[in-house]
Structures are given as structure tokens and as C-alpha cells.
Amino acid sequence: MTGLFATLIIVVSLVIAVWSAVHLLINRPISRYLRASLLVLTALFVIFAIGGIVQMAMSDRDFARLEFIGYLVLSPVIPLGAWWWVRGDTSRAGSAILLVVALVMPVLVIRIQQVWAGV
């Protein structure tokens, strides 16, 4: 559960966070490209979840499997929920929501990695 793909998700999340912060600071409505980036992040988390569950099924390591599955299954829901929330929002609040979500997602990836490592 560690590696290049997890790093890619973290980098994409941080790019979205910076992009959202710029929209928040200049008081612009969220562009459709910024909203679409949440769908890309959701897709990355779906792939991450599938890969994690496959790795878990092939492993006999001892770790919190139920917690691991919970994190993996629910992680794509967060950016998808944010996309749904801001899809019609033209205020600064939408940019702030995206900023918070984009900052939470790298932390979630790190927590998933910790559970995988048995921490």
C-alpha cells in the first residue's frame, strides 16, 4: 500500500488544494475543471481501494483488516461528496470546502498506509 500510486494521490490532492486556495483568495467561483478534478481524485481512490483489497486478500500479514477495508471503501466517498456539494455552488464557501477536502485526503492516504503497516 505504499509506493508511487499513493504518492501520486497525495500530489494530486495537494495540487487541488493549491488550486482551491487560489480560487478562495481571488474570490472566483469554482471552475468546472476544478470540480472535475474531484472526480479524478475519486477515480484514483477507487483504484487505490481495489488495489488495496487485492493486496490484502493475497497477504497473510496480521493487521486491522476491517479498519483497512473501511478506510479503503469510504475514502472515495469524500471527494465524491465534495463534488456533489459544490456542483452548483458559486460562492467562496465552495472553494473552502474543496480546500479542506483536498487537505484531508493526503492524511487519509497516510493513515491507510499506517493501518497496512500495522501501526
| Average pLDDT across the chain, whole number | 91
- pLDDT score of 63 more than 80: yes
pTM above 0.85, yes or no: yes
Asked whether the predicted pLDDT for residue 2 surpasses 70, the reply is no
Note the pLDDT of residue 46. 96
3-class secondary-structure state, position 1: coil
What was the pLDDT predicted at 117? 87
What per-residue confidence (pLDDT) applies to 47? Answer: 95
Per residue in 27-37, pLDDT (tens digit) is 888 888 999 99
Dist. CA 26–CA 50, nearest whole Å = 38
Q: Residue 100 has which C-alpha cell?
A: 479542506
